[in-house]
Amino acid sequence: MFGDTPKPAMGTDPQAVETVGLTKSFGAVEAVRGLDLRVKRGEIYGLVGPDGAGKTTTLRMLCGVLTPDGGQVRVLGHDAVAEVEKVREKLGYMPQRFSLYGDLTVMENLLFFAELFRVPRAEWGERSRRLLSFARLEPFVDRLAEFLSGGMKQKLALACTLIHNPELLLLDEPTTGVDPVSRREFWRILYSLLGQGVTILVSTPYMDEAERCNSVGFMAEGRLVVSGTPSELKAMMGKELLELRAEPRRAARAALQSVPLLEDVRVFGETLHLVAADVAAAEQAAREALDRAGIELLSLRRIAPSMEDAFMSLSSKPSAISPQLPAGGHELKAESR
């Protein structure tokens, strides 16, 4: 009713996912080390981090594919180890390589997964039609899956994952290798699901996708280094950057790397991003260095950090971003290293 305290989208626990001290090793390799992760119900939470950070292992433990070596993990109010079957009934897991059947049509794949997830036969037709419309696959119901484009295969994989109406989606880099137009379409579908109360935990190598999440967690070496909103993570760099255009760019980068005031010089498309504690002094030093090298300066301006800037700083040196909470920000989690 109006005036009541807002409640989570589903269930009574505000956390869809909560882990405490979660660990997993493969021989001498510690894939996940003391992971504390919290995902609120009704949000899109993005996991980012370099290859080998532990993202895939984490998702596999959450859905019960892997058993943790230690720690606690609750998913949708259930112990994900002791009550793994109850957890699986309520979530959908889409691994990096979802196993569609190429010799089955789009509709046949959907019906196969409906049976796999024990969806009552009386509901197969309605659910399949709804998902085909939702994913815009209606014109392709009779096409063999092996003849679908990469983007359509991913949408079909998502539709198969949704056939049993899960409350939580675990998606492991679902758009890797998919063209930009299909990636946007895929995220349109995810936002529609979010509006229906589905919680989504997605790992992604794309910073523009991380920008679209409600919350983002950065993993490195099996740990959650920091988590917060995209705006908070960018603000945690605590500094402006310089965006520079010069010709030739490669020579410009070489000349700037010897400037003491510059902490880093990074290539971003056709530009260079210059990281410095004192942007004003670094701007003048950069101009002088390019002039001495005889390099043409096309433009030089101050910019706010992007998610990619934050990601690269964390990847190269996690301590480069201060764990201080930005003014007016939400609760932020940062783990000391």
* Other beta carbons less than 10 A from residue 235's beta carbon: 23
| Rg of the chain in Å (alpha carbons) | 23
pLDDT in tens, 197-208: 999 999 998 888
* pLDDT attached to residue 27: 94
Q: Interior CA angle at 277 toward 276 and 279, to 5°?
A: 65
Write the CATH number of the domain with boundaries 15-233. Answer: 3.40.50.300
91 has pLDDT over 50: yes
Q: Would you list the domain boundaries of the chain?
A: 15-233, 239-304
Strands 264-268 and 91-94: unpaired
* pLDDT attached to residue 281: 92
How many angstroms separate the CA atoms of 312 and 246, rounded?
Answer: 22
182 has pLDDT over 90: no
Lowest mean per-residue pLDDT among 58-72, 88-102, 136-150, 226-240: 226-240
pLDDT bracket for residue 240 (50, 70, 90): confident
48 has pLDDT over 90: yes
Q: At what angle do helices 150-162 and 106-116 cross, to 10 degrees?
A: 30
> Which tokens belong to 268?
């971003």
Read off the pLDDT of each residue in 28-48 and give the average, rounded to a whole number: 95
φ/ψ (deg, to 5) at 334: -140, 135
Strands 168-172 and 199-203: parallel
81 has pLDDT over 70: yes
* pLDDT attached to residue 317: 60
> Which tokens belong to 42?
């009704």
Asked if 186 contacts 217 with a C-beta cutoff of 8 angstroms, the reply is no
pLDDT bracket for residue 147 (50, 70, 90): very high
* pLDDT attached to residue 11: 40
What does pTM read for this prediction?
A: 0.81
333 has pLDDT over 70: no
* Topology, domain 239-304: Alpha-Beta Plaits (3.30.70)
How many angstroms separate the CA atoms of 150 and 183, rounded?
Answer: 10
Lowest mean per-residue pLDDT among 128-132, 141-145, 255-259, 323-327: 323-327
pLDDT bracket for residue 95 (50, 70, 90): very high
pLDDT bracket for residue 177 (50, 70, 90): confident
> How much of the chain exceeds pLDDT 90, in percent?
60
* pLDDT attached to residue 178: 83
How many angstroms separate the CA atoms of 94 and 59, rounded?
Answer: 10
179 has pLDDT over 80: yes
pLDDT bracket for residue 276 (50, 70, 90): confident
Using the Cα atoms of residue 206, residue 207, residue 210 and residue 216 in order, give the sign of their dihedral: positive
* pLDDT attached to residue 306: 85
- Give the DSSP H or E segment for 220: strand 215-220
